[in-house]
Amino acid sequence: MSEREVLESLRENARYSTADIARMTDLDESEVDAVIEELEDAGVICGYQPVVDWDKLEDERVRAEVELNVRLDRETGYGDIAERLARFPQVTALRLVSGDYDFDMEVEGDSIREVSQFVSEKVAPVPEITQTVTHYVMTSYKENGIELGNGDEDDRLSFSP
């Protein structure tokens, strides 16, 4: 029984039925159900979400990637900072990364102003955060392994906050 095969099937399309996954993995439906239940109970599968092409909706949704540099002290670790930031509903993803900065944070809001205010009023004042760099997403061509839109247009505009 392959947990990885079941997970890969769900990542490809979380709407696959148990019967679909059983056919793709050569498992019985009951085995697939058991694997999924075990993975959910263990916290390996944390949820099911659609991949949305926001450019195809009329409602504007502003997304940004924010680089964060932090300074740790004896009482505060990366996990403490991450726990504090992850509580904000505007934060859609938060990762500790290697390289020139410490955290990669994805943020969403209804406008550039909303995202900018969130970063400047809620994130930057966190005492351990020493620097933020915000990159606004202009167009997404691929999300969670799924290609979006047609990708032929370059409609970037110059932007200064």
CATH number, domain of 31, equals 1.10.10
pLDDT digits (tens, 9 = 90+) for 78-93: 999 999 999 999 999 9
Question: What CATH number does the domain containing 119 carry?
Answer: 3.30.70.920
Rg (CA), the chain: 20
pLDDT in tens, 58-116: 777 899 999 999 999 999 999 999 999 999 999 999 999 999 999 999 999 999 999 99
Would you state the pLDDT for residue 76? 93
Do residues 16 and 61 both lie within one domain?
Answer: no
Residue 109 lies in a domain: yes
pLDDT at 67: 98
Q: How far apart are the first and last CA of the chain?
A: 53
Task: Provide the residue range defining the domain that includes 21.
Answer: 1-42
What is the torsional sign of CA 38, 41, 45, 49?
Answer: positive
* Overall average pLDDT of the 7-21 stretch: 88
